[in-house]
Amino acid sequence: AQSVTQLDSQVPVFEEAPVELRCNYSSSVSVYLFWYVQYPNQGLQLLLKYLSGSTLVESINGFEAEFNKSQTSFHLRKPSVHISDTAEYFCAVSPRGHSTDKLIFGTGTRLQVFP
């Protein structure tokens, strides 16, 4: 079975500061890794994903995440946040070769960006 731990339930940060949202997972098999974002009063949107290849993956809005197999982590980073990045971020894993019904989400990290 897989599990996901997001260590920080809330992360307050000032605009233009860097941020890191932590995600650790546990799995006995190889996994795919994902970050989803939920803006206020909206559903979740896929932010980025790691399936294979380069361990560093990037999103179109400046976020990046690095898959670290030895530390079983997939932390999300952004060098300079904007007010519009205020949202809840969910890390998720699924075992390789399985369909989306096996997607396991973390409990989420609420990122609040202050001016």
Residues that bind another protein (CB under 8 A): 32, 34, 36, 41-46, 49, 51, 90, 92, 94, 96-108
In angstroms, the CA 41 to CA 88 distance is 11
In angstroms, the CA 35 to CA 100 distance is 14
**Nearest residue (CB) to another protein, 26 versus 42:** 42
Least distance between another protein and beta carbon 1 (Å)? 12
Least distance between another protein and beta carbon 42 (Å)? 6
Q: How far is CA 103 from the centre of its chain?
A: 13
**Nearest residue (CB) to another protein, 13 versus 104:** 104
**Nearest residue (CB) to another protein, 53 versus 97:** 97
b (16+ CB within 10 A) / e for 95-114: beeeeeeebbebebbebebe
Least distance between another protein and beta carbon 56 (Å)? 18
